[in-house]
Amino acid sequence: MAKLGGMKMNKQIIFPKNLEKGDIIAVCAPSSGVEEQLHKYIRDAKRNVELAGYQVVIGDTVWKNEKCVSASKEIRAAELQQFLLDDRVNAIIPPWGGEFLMEILPLLDWEKIRTSTPKWILGYSDISTFIFAYTLLTGIASAHGNNFFDLSAYNLDSLTERWVDVISTRSGGTVSQTSSQLHQSFWRDDPNQGFQLDTQTVWKSIDSTDSIQFSGRLLGGCLDTISVLLGTPYAPVSQFVEDYCKDSGVVWYLESCEMNAADIYRRLWQMKMNGWFEHTNGIVIGRPAGYSDSKDFTIVDALHQIFDDMDIPVIYDADIGHIPPQMILVNGAKAKVSYVKGNGNVDLIFN
């Protein structure tokens, strides 16, 4: 860290150039690809994004999926790195997540990536495995939110449509997002129709407080996948916090898919024991997908057991992750989180 007047100063997060009309968005599948019967929706998403004024380039990995991956780890890594190092590409949005993105991380040339032109990467689920490592290893901001497949809908909901607003924001700018009124209870058969928003959204606090505010630099992703990086060279959380967050603190956002209450507790416990929650000012937990209680042990029990002795405010059932819609959150950005009686607001500050 640089020093000024004898005091340590945090490093500065690098924000990629804001997306502008005419810019190129690359689509590649560093985790799972898309089965043939769903190719239509990738083409529809390409059409919609191009109608919005952007160029779209689709990589070869997108069109196949076998044994949970689009291609061999070597091919997936090579295509992703090609787009990352291509100065003509302004943003990368994978079709969706998957299962095994972690296996490409050792195959990437992180020094070249770190010194190349920064570009926005947007996605969630297993894509958060990459964007989490990308921000931690390079200091470049990354966006957690919709995937490319979601953009096949004829009309986007009020949160998903903010993907453009967020990655079009210039360094130094601010974007505000408000919690949804309704969220989805089941997936439609036709993705062109968008999400099935039919259930009232209510953000909750684990201590039943009516009003909470906290701020800090955002960090997080899909709990199922980023927790796999614990103890590896691809998740230097403590060093990142030391370098970038000591003056602001951290706001963690986490969501889960296919985990029960006991699974969630075990993963959070691992994170806590590894010091990931040091210097944390607040936690925001998304609506859990594929979730079940573990007998009489619930997700709320898990959150109490992890965070009560740390005196950290915790909000859950927020608009993050696998039960849409979801906010577009930015790893590395400063965030001001406000919660009042079931409603939430997140201001992203790009500095």
Are residues 250 and 161 both part of a single domain? no
Same domain, 285 and 239: yes
pLDDT for the residue 3: 39
| Residue 200 and residue 147 share a domain | no
Identify whether residues 259 and 156 lie together within a single domain: no
Domain boundary among 119, 138, 172: 172
pLDDT of residue 208: 84
Burial of 45 (0-12, 13-18, 19+ CB in 10 A): buried
Residue 333 lies in a domain: yes
Which 3 state secondary structure label does DSSP give 6?
A: coil
Do 333 and 251 lie in one domain? The reply is yes
Pair (188, 155) in one structural domain: no
One domain for residues 202 and 63: no
Find the CATH number of the domain harbouring 131.
3.40.50.10740
Number of domains in the chain: 2
Is 127 in the same domain as 230? no
Q: What is the pLDDT of residue 8?
A: 61
What is the DSSP-derived secondary structure letter of residue 297? B
Report yes or no on 12 lying in a domain.
no
Domain boundary, last residue among 172, 191, 220? 172
Give me the pLDDT at residue 178, please. Answer: 98
Specify whether the CB–CB gap between 316 and 306 falls below 8 A.
no
Which residues in the chain belong to E strands, given as ranges? 2-4, 7-9, 24-27, 55-58, 89-92, 120-123, 142-144, 174-178, 182-184, 197-200, 204-205, 211-222, 250-255, 280-286, 314-318, 329-331, 334-340, 343-349
Is 0.85 topped by the overall pTM? yes
Residues 182 and 167 in one domain: no
Evaluate whether 298 touches 263 at the Cβ level (below 8 Å): no
Residue 249 three-state SS = coil
Q: Give the pair of three-digit tokens for residue 103.
A: 């296996």
The pLDDT profile of the chain, 351 residues, written as one tens digit per residue, is: 333 344 466 899 999 999 999 999 999 999 999 999 999 999 999 999 999 999 999 999 999 999 999 999 999 999 999 999 999 999 999 999 999 999 999 999 999 999 999 999 999 999 999 999 999 999 999 999 999 999 999 999 999 999 999 999 999 999 999 999 999 998 888 999 999 999 999 999 999 889 999 999 999 999 999 999 999 999 999 999 999 999 999 999 999 999 999 999 999 999 999 999 999 999 999 999 999 999 999 999 999 999 999 999 999 999 999 999 999 999 999 999 999 999 999 999 999
Domain boundary, last residue among 145, 172, 199:
172
Dig out the tokens for 246 from the structure.
């000591």
CB 80 within 8 A of CB 28: yes
Structural domain range at position 282:
178-349
